Amino acid sequence: MKKYTALLLLVLIVQSSCKKFLEVESLHRISGNNYWKSKADVEAFTVDLYAKFRNKLTQTSFIPATGDLRTGYIKFTSTVNANTVGEVSRRIVYDYIARNDLKRVVGNYVWNTDLTSGGIFYPSMKFNSITVWTEFYQVIQGANILIDQIEKGVPGLSPADEGQYRGEAAFIRSLAYFMMVRIYGDVPYYTEPYIKDAMGRENMVSVVNKCIADVEKYKESLPVAYGDPAFRAVRATKGAALTLQMHMNMWNAGFDKAKAAAYYSAAADLGQKLLDLKAYELIPISSFSAVMLGRSPEGIFEFNQSINYEPQPNPIAFFGEMVLKFPNKGPGSDNNSSHAYIKPAYLSKIYGTGVDLRKDLWFNSQTMLAGSGSFEFLKFKGDIVSGATGLYGVPEWGLIIFRYADALLLRAEALAELNKDTEALEMLNMVRARAGAGSASETGQQLKDVIFMERNRELLGDGCLYFDLIRTGRILDSQWTDNPLTQAQFNDGGWTWPIDNGALLNNPLMKLNSYWQ
Amino acid sequence: MKKIYFLLFLFSLLASISLHAQENILIKGSVLDKETGERLVGVSIVLDGKPPKSLTNTNANGDFTAKVPVNSTLILKYLGYRDFRQVVTAGQTNFTIKLASSAREMNEVVIRGYVARQKEETTGSSVSISGKEIRDIPAASAEDLLQGKVAGLNIQVNTGAPGFRGSVSIRGVSTLSISGSGENAFLSPTSPLYIIDGVPIDADGSTEYGYNSNSGISPLSMIPPEDIQTIEVLKDAQATSLYGSRGAYGVIIITTRKGNSKAPRIRYDTKFFLTDVPKLKETLGGQAERQARLNQIRKFGSEYGGFPESVINTLPALSDSLNPYFNNSTNWQGVFNKSTFNQTHNLGIDGGDDTFNYKTNLKWYNEKGIIANTGQDVYSLNMNMAYKPSKKFNVFFNVLTGLGKRNAGGGNGIFQNGVAENSNASSLLPGPSLFQSTTAVQSVFSIKNDNATKNLRANGEFSFMPIEGLRFTSTGSYEYIRNTEDTFTPSSASIIAGQNWSKLLSYFDRRAILYNRNAINFSKTINYDHSFNILLFNEISKRSFQANYMLNVGTANDYIWGPLGSSTMYSRGGGTLDNYVNVNTAAFSAFFSYNYKKKYILDLSYRLDGSSVSGFDDPYSKNPTIGLRWNYNKEKIFENANWLSSGSIRATWGRNVSPTGDIYTLYGTYSPSGNYVGSPSIGNDFGYVPNNTLKPTTNTTYNLAFDFGFLQDRFTLTYETYLKTVSNLLWDLELPTTAGFIKVKSDDASVVNYGHEANLNIRPLSAKSKVNLAFNINAALNRDVITQLPGGVTQVLQGEGTIASRVGRNAFSNYTIVTDGVYSTNADVPVDPITGLPYRNGNSAFFQEGDPRWVDINGDYILDDNDKQITGNLQPRLTGGLNTTIGYKGFSLLLTGVFTVKRTINNRVLADRLKSAGDIYGSRALLPIDELNYWKNPGDVAKFANPYDYIRYSRISPFRENQSLFLEDGSYFKLNTATFGYTFKKDFVKRLNVNSVRLYLSAYNIFTASPYSGSNPETVTPLGYDKSGGYPVARKYSIGFNIEL
- Partner-chain residue, chosen from B664, B676, B679, that has the shortest CB–CB distance to A31: B664
Q: What is the pLDDT of residue A114?
A: 40
Measure the CA–CA gap between B1002 and B977, rounded to whole angstroms. 7
Nearest chain B residue to A304, by CA:
B677
* CB–CB contact B682 A22 (8 Å): no
Above 80 in pLDDT, residue A83? no
B179 has which bridge partners?
B186
Is B675 in CB contact (< 8 Å) with chain A? yes
- Greatest mean pLDDT among A277-281, B159-163, B615-619: A277-281
Q: What is the pLDDT of residues B457-467, one digit of tens each?
A: 999 999 998 98
A166 domain-assigned? yes
CA distance A240 to chain B (A): 18
Q: What is the pLDDT of residue B54?
A: 74
Query: Residue range B353-364: average pLDDT?
Result: 88
Nearest to A359, CA basis, from A340, A379, A339, A338: A379
Residue A140 pLDDT grade (very low, low, confident, very high; cuts 50, 70, 90): very high
Query: Residue range A30-57: average pLDDT?
Result: 91
Contact B25, B70 (CB under 8 A): yes
Q: What is the pLDDT of residues B974-1030, one digit of tens each?
A: 998 899 999 888 788 888 888 888 899 999 988 889 888 888 888 888 788 887 777
Of the candidate ranges B79-83, B346-350, B778-782, the one whose mean pLDDT is the lowest: B79-83
Residue B220 pLDDT grade (very low, low, confident, very high; cuts 50, 70, 90): confident
Query: Residue range A215-223: average pLDDT?
Result: 94
Average pLDDT value over all residues in chain A: 86
- Partner-chain residue, chosen from A22, A133, A306, that has the shortest CB–CB distance to B619: A22
The DSSP symbol for B927 reads P
CA distances from B329 to B332, B431, B462, B924 (A): 9, 8, 68, 13
Q: What is the pLDDT of residue B67?
A: 83
* CB–CB contact B735 A29 (8 Å): no
* CB–CB contact A196 B744 (8 Å): yes
A344 domain-assigned? no
Average pLDDT value over all residues in chain B: 82
Q: What is the pLDDT of residue A16?
A: 54
Nearest to B345, CA basis, from B1034, B1040, B1000, B1045: B1040
CA distance B208 to chain A (A): 23
Query: Residue range A1-9: average pLDDT?
Result: 55
CA distance A372 to chain B (A): 37
Is B582 in CB contact (< 8 Å) with chain A? yes
Above 80 in pLDDT, residue B135? no
* CB–CB contact B737 A23 (8 Å): no
Instruction: Give the whole-number percent of chain A exceeding pLDDT 70.
Output: 88
- Segments forming the whole domain that contains residue A169: 2-60+131-277
Query: Residue range A466-482: average pLDDT?
Result: 92
Is A145 in CB contact (< 8 Å) with chain B? yes
* CB–CB contact B677 A309 (8 Å): yes
A367 domain-assigned? no
Q: What is the pLDDT of residue B13?
A: 46
A509 domain-assigned? no
Query: Residue range B244-261: average pLDDT?
Result: 83
Q: What is the pLDDT of residues A67-78, one digit of tens each?
A: 999 999 998 887
Contact A341, A370 (CB under 8 A): yes
Above 80 in pLDDT, residue B772? yes
Nearest chain B residue to A505, by CA:
B736
Above 60 in pLDDT, residue B2? no
Is B993 in CB contact (< 8 Å) with chain A? no
CA distance B694 to chain A (A): 14
Between chain A and chain B, the number of residue pairs with CB atoms below 8 A apart is 174
* CB–CB contact A137 B611 (8 Å): no
Q: What is the CA radius of gyration of chain B?
A: 33
Query: Residue range B195-224: average pLDDT?
Result: 65
Above 50 in pLDDT, residue A377? yes
Q: What is the pLDDT of residue B88?
A: 82
Above 50 in pLDDT, residue B615? yes
Nearest to B133, CA basis, from B906, B568, B650, B776: B776
Above 50 in pLDDT, residue B1034? yes
What is the SS3 assignment for B767? coil
Considering only CB atoms, which chain B residues are within 8 Å of A230?
A: 677-678
Nearest chain B residue to A34, by CA:
B667
Residue A86 pLDDT grade (very low, low, confident, very high; cuts 50, 70, 90): very low
User: Which of A47, A50, A168, A302 is the best residue to mutate to test the B interface, defined by the most B CB atoms within 10 Å of its own CB?
Assistant: A47
Q: What is the pLDDT of residues B713-764, one digit of tens each?
A: 788 899 999 999 988 888 888 889 999 999 888 888 899 999 999 999 898 8
A375 domain-assigned? no
Query: Residue range B381-397: average pLDDT?
Result: 89
- Partner-chain residue, chosen from A18, A41, A43, that has the shortest CB–CB distance to B610: A18
Of the candidate ranges A202-216, B300-314, B655-669, B679-693, the one whose mean pLDDT is the lowest: B300-314
Nearest to B361, CA basis, from B225, B230, B216: B225
A483 domain-assigned? no
Q: What is the pLDDT of residue A19?
A: 67
Instruction: Give the whole-number percent of chain B exceeding pLDDT 70.
Output: 89
A470 domain-assigned? no
Q: Which residues contact B930 (CB under 8 A, 6 or more apart)?
A: none
Of the candidate ranges A283-287, B555-559, B758-762, the one whose mean pLDDT is the lowest: B555-559
Q: What is the pLDDT of residue A196?
A: 87
Q: What is the pLDDT of residue A124?
A: 59
Above 70 in pLDDT, residue B15? no
Measure the CA–CA gap between B382 and B363, rounded to whole angstroms. 9
CA distance B175 to chain A (A): 23
Q: What is the pLDDT of residue B882?
A: 93
The domain tally of chain A equals 1
* CB–CB contact B736 A506 (8 Å): yes
Above 80 in pLDDT, residue B662? no
Query: Residue range A349-369: average pLDDT?
Result: 90
**What residue type is A195 in one-letter code?**
I
* CB–CB contact A505 B734 (8 Å): yes
Q: What is the pLDDT of residues B64-84, one digit of tens each?
A: 888 888 888 888 877 667 778
CB burial class (10 A; 0-12, 13-18, 19+) of residue B931?
Answer: exposed
Is A20 in CB contact (< 8 Å) with chain B? no
Instruction: Give the whole-number percent of chain B exceeding pLDDT 90.
Output: 13
A239 domain-assigned? yes
Virtual CA dihedral for A319, A321, A325, A331, nearest 10 degrees?
A: 170
CA distance A145 to chain B (A): 9
Give the CATH number of the domain where residue A168 resides. 1.25.40.390
What is the SS3 assignment for B433? coil
* CB–CB contact B619 A47 (8 Å): no
- Partner-chain residue, chosen from A15, A309, A505, that has the shortest CB–CB distance to B678: A309
Considering only CB atoms, which chain A residues are within 8 Å of B736?
A: 197-199, 503, 505-507, 510
* CB–CB contact A142 B679 (8 Å): no
Q: What is the pLDDT of residue A426?
A: 93
Q: What is the pLDDT of residues A322-356, one digit of tens each?
A: 898 888 887 766 678 888 899 999 999 999 888 89
* CB–CB contact B683 A503 (8 Å): no
Q: What is the pLDDT of residue B209?
A: 40
Considering only CB atoms, which chain B residues are within 8 Å of A45?
A: 670, 681-683
Query: Residue range A425-434: average pLDDT?
Result: 93
Interface of A with B in 73-92 (CB under 8 A): none
* CB–CB contact A51 B681 (8 Å): yes
Considering only CB atoms, which chain B residues are within 8 Å of A32?
A: 663-664, 666-670, 690
User: Which of B737, B743, B745 is the best residue to mutate to test the A interface, defined by the most A CB atoms within 10 Å of its own CB?
Assistant: B737
B658 has which bridge partners?
B697
Above 70 in pLDDT, residue B413? no
* CB–CB contact A32 B667 (8 Å): yes
Q: Where are the alpha helices (DSSP H) in A280-403?
A: 289-293, 319-322, 344-351, 357-362
Above 80 in pLDDT, residue A117? no
CA distances from B519 to A21, B127, B532, B534 (A): 19, 25, 16, 10
Above 60 in pLDDT, residue B105? no
* CB–CB contact A24 B582 (8 Å): yes
Is A500 in CB contact (< 8 Å) with chain B? yes
Q: What is the pTM of this model?
A: 0.80
Interface of A with B in 302-321 (CB under 8 A): 304, 306, 308-310
